[in-house]
Amino acid sequence: MYEKRIDRLFSRPAFMKEVRKAETNQRFIIEIASFIVFFLVYFKLTKMGGAYIKTLDSSAWPVGSPEAIINFLNIIGIAGAIACCWFIEKRPPRGLGYVKAGLGSEYLVGIAAGFIGFVACVGFGMLAGVVKINGLMPDIAWGSILFLFVSYMVQGMTEEVITRGYLMVTLSQKLPLWASAVISAAFFSLAHIKATGLNFLPLFNIFIVGVFLALVILRRGSIWMAAGFHTAWNFTQGNLFGFSVSGHEKSAAILSAQIAEGNPILTGGSFGLEASIFTTLTTIVLITIVFLVKPIDRSAQA
């Protein structure tokens, strides 16, 4: 009975059912080993590229944002994930969640949800007296802001396709769907292990956000909404409010906001507000909403 309830909550979308029928599912160990090699190469390349970019004069960039250039390096992850799945698992892009149906609408809803989600975290922080909004920044670098948003589109999509579209779907060929979602969320959390100010609460928050994003993909039947949410979540905290994003340095922002010093459970410490209890509460609400929304059946859609 318990397993049937879990199966209903973690229902398998059409694109994952198609992947499960493939003959290559007999090479599970090879596929997992390929993912590990792919991720290590991707991580090394982006780390080397990011380190090199940081040595350059930031004024050399047309919009003065080396952070955005570093985000664009993540396109290596998108291309690599598609290539590995295509040539090793014989999976077309649809098998990673790139379903044509709902591309625009699902992505935009994800953008809106990511924005609302982090604004809710800020709202909790303001009610608790640890977040203060001082108004607009005096000189808003709109060019940098726009460029950063586009770069977060790349970064958000990359993390979704690697952890959910690639890893979760590969795991789901041999493991229960709930276990695949949880393992991919744990991997997503541990991928941030070297971030500034990391401790148990931010790791846990990243984990449950990973579970939420896995559920979004499973319930919506594609990667688009999760990628849109990821993009807007990071952009809103980093470039709307000017907070640290997962421990990274602050960059151009629209609003002048500040987080009071004090208990890191409330403030998130140097990691940023997403390491606070307010993000925990917000994510629990989001997971509840996903459970309540009826799954979309895209079996008859392209």
Rounded to a whole number of angstroms, the CA Rg of the chain reads 19
Helices marked H in the chain: 2-9, 14-20, 28-55, 66-72, 75-87, 103-127, 142-160, 169-171, 177-190, 200-220, 224-235, 264-267, 277-292
Indicate whether 208 pLDDT > 70: yes
Q: Is 165 inside any structural domain?
A: yes
Q: Which helix (H) or strand (E) holds 272?
A: none
> Percent of the chain scored above 70 by pLDDT?
88
More confident residue, 277 or 252: 277
What count of other Cβ atoms lies within 10 Å of the Cβ of residue 30? Answer: 12
In a domain, 127, yes or no: yes
CA proximity to 221, closest of 66, 77, 99, 48: 99
Residue 162: domain span: 2-292
d(CA 238, CA 93): 30
Domain count, the chain: 1
Highest mean pLDDT among 1-15, 135-149, 239-253: 135-149
Instruction: Report if residue 154 sits inside a domain.
Output: yes
Who wins on pLDDT, 270 or 77?
Answer: 77
The predicted-structure confidence for 246-261, as pLDDT tens digits, reads as follows: 766 667 889 988 888 8
Phi, psi (deg, nearest 5) at residue 57: -70, 120
Pick the more confident residue, 117 or 12: 117
Q: Please report whether residue 67 resides in a domain.
A: yes
pLDDT tens for each residue of 144-202: 888 889 999 999 999 999 999 999 999 998 899 999 999 999 999 998 887 766 788 98
Residue 98 placed within a domain:
yes
Residue 90 tokens, joined: 């014989």
Q: Does residue 243 sit within a domain? A: yes
3-state secondary structure 47-112: HHHHHHHHHCCHHHCCCCCHHHHHHHCCHHHHHHHHHHHHHCCCCCHHHHCCCCCCHHHHHHHHHH
- Would you say residue 300 lies in a domain? no
Q: What angle do CA 16, 20, 22 make, to 5 degrees?
A: 125
Residue 299 located in a structural domain: no
Q: Across all residues in the chain, what is the average pLDDT?
A: 87
